[in-house]
Structure formats: C-alpha cells, structure tokens
C-alpha cells in the first residue's frame, strides 16, 4: 500500500502556549487526531513533542511497522514533530521511533494517546474519542444546586481489578463493573465512587500509581467509550465519580515518558530532583512550561471528555517539598510545585466550578483548601490524615487503656476548621500488614464487629466528608489483595450481612440529615456536650444545620454499658433515638431503640437533662421530637 503523507497542519499559536505552560487543551494539538481536508481519506495527524530528537518516525499497523517509511517533520522553533497519514483505522496500533542526538533509538508510546494496547503490550492505539452519546445532561444542573461544602459527600473507594472477578477469574470490564457497582452503590447509600488510578499503567501491582499513559484509560477493562459508559451510568443514578490522579511522578518503563527523546524532557536534569526513591519512579519537572501544559491539560481532559466530578490528587506532600519521604534532612519547599498547584486549581475551577479537587496531603502545610487569593493552594478538600492515624490508633487500643488516649480521640476537633477536610479510611490502611478495618479492632469476634460499627458511626458524625475503601462495608476480614476479588462469600454469614445492612442504613441516615454535613467546615456546626470523660471513654456532641436543628451524637468506646448516662440539652420534651449501632438488625443487642423525656435537671451547663443508656462499644444518635 502506498502511504500518503502530508505536513500542512498549522500549530504555531498552540505550540507557543504549550511552551509557555498556558496551553490547557494540549491534547487537541498533540497526539493522534482525525484530520479533515478535502481529498484526504481517513487522515490522522500524529504530533509529538521531542525537541532533542535528531529524527522521529511513526511506526504502526498502517505501515507494517516499517522503521523509516513515515518520517515526521520538525517545526524547528517548537521542538514539535508532525505528520498526517491517510487511511488510518480506529484501533490501529502505533509508536514513535525516536533517534536521539546520540544516535540512540527509543521506541515510545504516544504521551497524548487516548487508547493503548492491553498490558503487557505497550503500543498506543489511534482512537477517535468523539461519538459517545452521553445521557447525563441534567447531572451538572442538579449537582450545582448545593455548594459542595454544604452537601453530603460519602465516597466509596474502589479498585476495578479486585472488586469482583468473573467466574473464570478474569477481570471485569468497565461495562460489567458499571452494571453491578451502580445498583450496589445505590443500595449502600454512597454519594460518590472514587476509582483508583485508571490511566494506563503496565504493572497491576502498582495499583495504577506508576503511569505510562496519562491520557489513555487503561485498556484492561475496555475502550474509552466503555469508561464513559461507567461514568454515565453513575450520573444517571445520582452518583458522582472521582478519579485518583497522579501528577507527581511517572513510571520508568522504556515505552513511557522517561528520557523520552534522549534528553530529560518531562523529568528534571537534576538527578536528585528527578528520582523518586520512594516508588522507583521519576518526578515531573514543574519548572517547564510544557510539563505544566501537559498536566493541567490532563486534569481538564478527564473532566471534559469523561465528565468526571473531581480528582483526588495523589501525594501532594511529595510535590510541596523536595525529597519528601526519603530525605531525612530539613524539608525544603518546592516553590515551582506550589505555583503549579495554584495554576492547576485556578484552571480547573474556572472551567468546572462545581468539581472536587481533593488533596492527599499528609503534612501540616497551611491553607491547602484556602482560596489562592488568600494565600492558599486552592483545593476545596484535603484528606485529614491526622484524624485517620489518631482514630485508628485509638480503636486498635484495648478498651481498658483507651482512657489514657482520650486526648488523641478529641485532638482532631482542635484543628477541624483549619481546612475543609475529608475523613479517609482508604486502601492504604488495609494493606502491607496493617490488617483490615475489622481485624484491627481488638477483642472477641462480636467485639470486633461492634467496634467497627462504632468507628463508622463516629466517622459519620465527625465533621468532614467521608471516604471508605471497598470491603470495609461488610467487614472484610483479610487485608486487601489487589490480585483477588473481595471476599463476597462472607455475606453468607450473619455478622457480615448485618454489618452491610448497618453501613447501608448509616449512609442513608447521613444523607437524610443535613445536621451531619451542612456545616462541616464551620465551627457553628458542632457543640460539645461531653468531651473530658476519659475514665469512661465517652464522647458526646451535637451536630447542627443552618436552621439550628440538632442531632446528639453519643459514643461509648468501652465494652461496658453506660446506664442512665446524663446528657445536657437545651429544649424540654421528647428525644427519640434516630440510629443506634447496637441494634439487633446490625448484629448488636438492642431490640428496640428508646425514646427519652427530659428531666428538670441541669447537666453540662444546660437547663435540662436526659438519662440515656449507651450500649457497649456503640454510637447512638438522638434528636428532639416534641
């Protein structure tokens, strides 16, 4: 077949913006795109940034992988190479054959490819990303009605590879996952699905965090349109979709971004800055305008083409500080990363004002969620890693010794309003010998389940949005294993089925009561009732909504029932139990929840009082009735 090649696409203005770090739609300039011009048949333009290359050739299915038959032409002043090829078909595989300045040959995938071969193969695939017919046109309108800060956000974090498997042990497709996860999330009462990284990556064991194809949803589970189907299905059932996004580093695999054109292109020339020793990867160099354009375009791309509702930005601490995680010396601020994050969030919120930008940031860096004009980084939420570490350490303690850690239990309330927080019980807490949430809990079989119900009830009551990792909702006993599906057979056992029922009803209780989420980020959203009873390990507070309605949240962190425990209240009348983690239907011992009448007794500095029985290892929620 005679190849028909052309070199007449004008990209000069887009290239200028790309080099300046201001091309936020770089995916339209670079990569493989349908090219329409009279007289051309099935033409596709292939464009790649490789400024240090001596020569670049396109190799692929359309030229039988001939090494030299399709040379690209270089726009000298831009470092960008381009060719237009006719008679290219959807799914045609291709790579770039790059001759470096030292005459080395590098065979590379396309950094801007929209699709790729399934691992262990590594070629890019031409894919016309247009054509999917979305059915979620009302979704943006609905989610814009209530600001995210005042909305219930309860995220189910999942890994597609290991959520469920087919009967033959093979992985689910995007579409099969969608058809099963969507009704499950609705049944369980979650508001959002967060997916561990779906960008193309060669190694399953990296969980998706060591990426080679930032613009290609992994082909393990299907095509880009199949992923769109998953997001669409979620939206049409009232569920938001968040993607785990990794802008700090990239994989070293030969076909990826590393030493792309023989030079240090996406990474820094400085080896200390470039190497990420924690993961054996390479860090992005944010001083380069092209890298900033690449990453900000990527964040916008997932919003624009896949209609996602937010990004959980991985490992922000590694961006904020040079050598974070392995340099034992004094941490040094990476000012270029800081400016990049501000630029990223500015670009995102200008175009998608109702999205979620969530920082996984584990240091005490101030104002992560403050507006940029006020000196912040501009995220709208930050993972509360301090809360997570403190509560898990507290819950793993034998209840008899918890009184010595009472300050640890209440410490998170002292800084809760410093940021807009999200409370994470993520995949990181149930791997590498840390044990599952259920198995972390001390005591006998029944105590473990009671303690997990207590933990999840406490999490729902604590100010901050919520995230839990798959399996925790039914009491997975073993740690997460990315190679195996969750132990769904456990639902044949009463305790696990009861745990699942509890989590479903707890989640729906949370969504139905604005007191538990409307004022998460404001001090007036919580009033203390009892915070210093360390000896009995009791914690009681009120959560409030904008109208001043209150829910009393009481927690007993010991296996001893607290009978007729005094609780001070402001209004006289009847208080009913809205929710108790100790109900028989959840695996506890309470057959019927109680209603309480106030007494003419002053407790906790309040005019009236209740005498409430708080079951062992339990969370109860009360509300004034009349």
Two tokens, residue 190 = 């979650």
**Statement to judge: residues 22 and 166 lie in one domain:** no
Per-residue pLDDT, 593: 87
Q: Do 257 and 284 meet the contact criterion of CB atoms below 8 Å apart?
A: no
Question: Does 145 map to a domain?
Answer: no
Place of tokens 């009803």: 505
Q: Do 270 and 285 meet the contact criterion of CB atoms below 8 Å apart?
A: no
Per-residue pLDDT, 420: 98
**Statement to judge: residues 39 and 173 lie in one domain:** no
Q: Do 301 and 242 meet the contact criterion of CB atoms below 8 Å apart?
A: no
pLDDT band at 536; cut points 50, 70, 90 = very high
Per-residue pLDDT, 331: 80
**Statement to judge: residues 117 and 84 lie in one domain:** yes
**Statement to judge: residues 256 and 388 lie in one domain:** yes
Stretch 310-339: mean pLDDT: 85
pLDDT above 90 coverage of the chain, percent: 89
pLDDT band at 578; cut points 50, 70, 90 = very high
pLDDT band at 285; cut points 50, 70, 90 = very high
- pLDDT tens-digit series, residues 172-190: 999 999 999 999 999 999 9
pLDDT above 70 coverage of the chain, percent: 99
**The three-state (H, E, C) secondary structure of 247-292, written as one string:** CCEECCCCCCCCCCCCCCCCECCCHHHHEECCCCEEEECCCCHHHH
Q: Which is catalytic among the residues 14, 244, 360, 515?
A: 360
Active site residue 128: no
**Statement to judge: residues 165 and 104 lie in one domain:** no
Stretch 267-294: mean pLDDT: 92
- Cis, peptide link before residue 506, omega less than 30° from 0: no
Place of tokens 């300039």: 29
Question: Does 71 map to a domain?
Answer: yes
CATH of the domain at 549: 2.60.40.1180
Neighbouring CB atoms inside 10 A of 39's CB total: 8
pLDDT at 327 over 60: no
Question: Does 562 map to a domain?
Answer: yes
Question: Does 540 map to a domain?
Answer: yes
Per-residue pLDDT, 328: 56
**Statement to judge: residues 265 and 186 lie in one domain:** yes
CATH of the domain at 74: 2.60.40.10
B/e letters for 359-392, b = 16+ CB within 10 Å, e = fewer, are bbbbeebebbbbebeeebbbbbbbbbbebbebbb
**Statement to judge: residues 254 and 324 lie in one domain:** yes
Stretch 321-332: mean pLDDT: 71
**Statement to judge: residues 344 and 394 lie in one domain:** yes
**Statement to judge: residues 104 and 192 lie in one domain:** no
Choosing from 456, 488, 512, the residue where a domain stops is 512
Give the Cα separation of 19 and 303 in Å (integer): 23
3-state secondary structure of 71: strand
Domain of residue 508 covers: 158-512
**pTM for this model (two decimals):** 0.96
Give the Cα separation of 507 and 242 in Å (integer): 18
**Angle ∠(601,607,608) on CA atoms, nearest 5:** 50
Stretch 463-477: mean pLDDT: 98
Q: Which is catalytic among the residues 14, 314, 419, 582?
A: 314
Two tokens, residue 362 = 């584990």
Query: Residue 105 phi/psi, 5° resolution?
Result: -110, 125
Instruction: Give the single-character DSSP code of 173.
Output: P
497: burial class by Cβ within 10 Å (0-12, 13-18, 19+)? middle
Number of domains, the chain: 3
Stretch 278-299: mean pLDDT: 96
Give the Cα separation of 115 and 215 in Å (integer): 8
**Statement to judge: residues 117 and 162 lie in one domain:** no
- pLDDT tens-digit series, residues 479-522: 999 999 999 999 999 999 999 999 999 999 999 999 999 999 99
Per-residue pLDDT, 471: 98
Active site residue 360: yes
Average pLDDT over the chain reads 96
Q: Do 380 and 149 meet the contact criterion of CB atoms below 8 Å apart?
A: yes
Of 589, 590, 564, 555, which Cα lies nearest the Cα of 394? Answer: 555
**Statement to judge: residues 34 and 111 lie in one domain:** yes
Question: Does 48 map to a domain?
Answer: yes
**Statement to judge: residues 478 and 333 lie in one domain:** yes
């Amino acid at each position: 077949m005679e190849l028909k090649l052309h070199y007449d696409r004008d990209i000069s203005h887009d290239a200028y913006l790309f080099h300046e770090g201001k091309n936020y739609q770089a995916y339209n300039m670079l990569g493989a795109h349908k090219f329409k011009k009279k007289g051309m048949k099935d033409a596709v333009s292939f464009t790649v940034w490789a400024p240090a290359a001596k020569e670049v050739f396109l190799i692929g299915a359309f030229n039988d992988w001939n090494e030299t038959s399709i040379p690209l032409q270089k726009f000298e002043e831009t470092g960008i190479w381009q060719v237009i090829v006719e008679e290219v078909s959807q799914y045609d595989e291709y790579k770039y054959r790059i001759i470096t300045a030292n005459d080395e040959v590098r065979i590379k995938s396309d950094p801007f490819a929209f699709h790729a071969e399934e691992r262990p193969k590594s070629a890019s695939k031409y894919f016309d990303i247009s054509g999917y017919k979305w059915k979620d046109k009302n979704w943006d309108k609905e989610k814009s009605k209530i600001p995210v800060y005042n909305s219930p956000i309860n995220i189910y974090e999942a890994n597609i590879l290991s959520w469920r498997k087919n009967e033959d042990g093979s992985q689910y497709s995007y579409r099969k996952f969608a058809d099963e996860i969507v009704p499950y999330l609705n049944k369980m009462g979650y508001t959002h699905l967060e997916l561990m990284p779906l960008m193309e990556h060669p190694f399953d064991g990296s969980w998706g965090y060591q990426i080679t194809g930032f613009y290609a949803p992994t082909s393990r589970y299907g095509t880009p349109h199949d992923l769109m189907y998953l997001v669409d299905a979620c939206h049409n059932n009232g569920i938001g979709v968040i993607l785990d996004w990794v802008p700090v580093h990239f994989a070293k695999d030969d076909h990826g971004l590393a030493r792309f054109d023989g030079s240090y292109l996406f990474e820094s020339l400085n080896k200390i800055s470039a190497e990420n020793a924690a993961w054996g990867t390479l860090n992005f160099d944010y001083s380069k305008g092209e890298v900033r354009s690449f990453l900000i375009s990527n964040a916008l791309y997932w919003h624009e083409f896949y209609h996602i509702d937010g990004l959980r930005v991985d490992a922000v601490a590694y961006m904020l500080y040079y050598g974070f995680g392995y340099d034992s010396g004094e941490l040094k601020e990476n000012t270029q990363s800081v400016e990049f994050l501000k630029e990223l969030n500015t670009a995102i919120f200008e175009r998608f004002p109702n999205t979620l930008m969530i920082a996984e940031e584990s240091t005490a860096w101030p104002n992560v969620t403050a507006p940029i004009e006020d000196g912040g980084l501009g995220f709208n939420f930050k993972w509360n890693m301090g809360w997570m570490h403190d509560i898990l350490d507290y819950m793993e303690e034998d209840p008899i010794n918890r009184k010595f850690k009472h300050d640890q239990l209440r410490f998170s309330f002292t800084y809760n309003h410093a940021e807009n927080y999200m409370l994470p019980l993520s995949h990181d807490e149930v791997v590498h010998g840390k044990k599952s949430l259920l198995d972390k809990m001390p005591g006998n079989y029944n105590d473990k389940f009671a303690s997990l119900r207590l933990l999840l009830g406490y999490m729902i009551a604590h100010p901050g949005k919520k995230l839990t990792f798959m399996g925790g909702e039914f009491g997975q006993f073993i740690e997460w294993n990315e190679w195996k599906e969750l132990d769904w057979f456990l639902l044949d056992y009463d305790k696990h089925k009861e745990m699942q029922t509890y989590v479903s009803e707890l989640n729906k209780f949370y969504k139905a009561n604005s007191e538990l989420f409307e004022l998460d980020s404001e001090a007036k959203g919580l009033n203390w009732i009892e915070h210093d009873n360390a000896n009995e390990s009791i914690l009681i507070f009120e959560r409030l909504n904008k109208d001043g309605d209150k829910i009393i949240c009481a927690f007993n962190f010991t296996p001893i029932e607290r009978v007729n425990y005094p609780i001070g209240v402001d209004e006289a009348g009847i208080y009913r139990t809205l929710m108790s983690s100790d109900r028989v239907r959840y695996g506890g011992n309470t057959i019927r929840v109680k209603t309480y009448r106030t007494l003419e007794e002053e407790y906790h500095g309040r005019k009236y009082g209740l005498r409430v029985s708080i079951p062992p290892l339990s969370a109860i929620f009360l509300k004034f009735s009349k």
